[in-house]
Structure 1
Amino acid sequence: MRLPRRGAHLLIRGYQLSLSLLIGRQCRHWPSCSEYTDEAIQRHGLWAGGWVGFARICRCTPLGTSGIDIVCEELPPEGAWYKPWAYGRWRGVNAPPVELDEPAERADTSS
């Protein structure tokens, strides 16, 4: 793990073990915003992952999003170091696809 990522991980972990324990779980999403940001930084690096996490924290408001929101596997193609806001998802959530039950095969009644 690179040094900037490790430093960010230690800061987030310190928050989780101190302030977060005192105020309790307040996040409207799963995983929590701190877990999401930590995973985004580990997956995409400090700069891009930090912006992905910042966008998530901005969405975690009473009028924002809620529910399951997972870190994207790949960064959006329009993102670049000089326009980091393009890395974040500022609306909506990245929920896993819903698996629907397969419809039961119809029995062939013609004999």
Structure 2
Amino acid sequence: MSEAEGRVSTSTLPTSSTGNAHWVATDVVRSAPLLPRNTALTVLHAYRATISHVYGDVCKYYPSCSAYAVGAVQQHGVVKGVALAAARLARCHPWAQGGIDDVPPHRAFRYELTRHGFVVPPGKD
């Protein structure tokens, strides 16, 4: 995960989508359930680094739809996160007013975020 993190730009992610946690190799077993979530985040980061730049800053909402998708997958996992992102995309049309539209936080979010937005198990206290 550290190799991918070194190439990811998060300059346009809301601060709620980044953190200060670090992935530790000894947490490989605890991180296994997060693999689908972090794989989806890798795809979203790749989209944001390539295709998203072609469109420029055209989103009527803050955060942008791709940043919303990152936050939704972080907070709710792949299935619910993609469903929330799809609902957000459906709200984005020429007649939409736009504005601030944050991802609804997960009531029991128990993970930590790296500075590049990947999800890791909580630190041992």
Normalising by the residue count of structure 1, what TM-score does the alignment of the two structures yield?
Answer: 0.62
Alpha-carbon distance in structure 2 between the residues aligned to 1:65 and 1:8: 29
Q: Which has the higher contact order (CA 8 A, sep 6+)?
A: 2
Matched, 1:51 2:83: yes
Alpha-carbon distance in structure 2 between the residues aligned to 1:6 and 1:74: 17
Deviation at 1:65, TM superposition (A): 4.2
Alpha-carbon distance in structure 2 between the residues aligned to 1:24 and 1:33: 12
Deviation at 1:3, TM superposition (A): 1.2
Percent of aligned pairs with the same residue? 36
Aligned length: 75
Matched, 1:71 2:103: yes
Task: Give 1:33's aligned residue.
Answer: 65
Normalising by the residue count of structure 2, what TM-score does the alignment of the two structures yield?
Answer: 0.56
Deviation at 1:23, TM superposition (A): 2.0
1:8 to 40, 45, 59: 40
3-state SS of paired residue (1:15): helix
Alpha-carbon distance in structure 2 between the residues aligned to 1:19 and 1:13: 10
Deviation at 1:26, TM superposition (A): 1.6
Alpha-carbon distance in structure 2 between the residues aligned to 1:73 and 1:8: 18
Contact preservation (8 Å) 1:28, 1:66:
yes
Task: Give 1:95's aligned residue.
Answer: none
Task: Give 2:52's aligned residue.
Answer: 20
Contact preservation (8 Å) 1:59, 1:65:
no
Deviation at 1:14, TM superposition (A): 0.7
For the pair shown, the structure with the greater C-alpha radius of gyration is: 1
The structure with more helix, counted as a fraction of residues: 2
Unaligned runs of 5+ in 2: 1-30, 108-125
C-alpha RMSD of the superposition: 1.5
One-letter amino acid matched to 1:44:
H
Which consecutive segments of 4 or more residues in structure 1 shift more than 2 A?
none
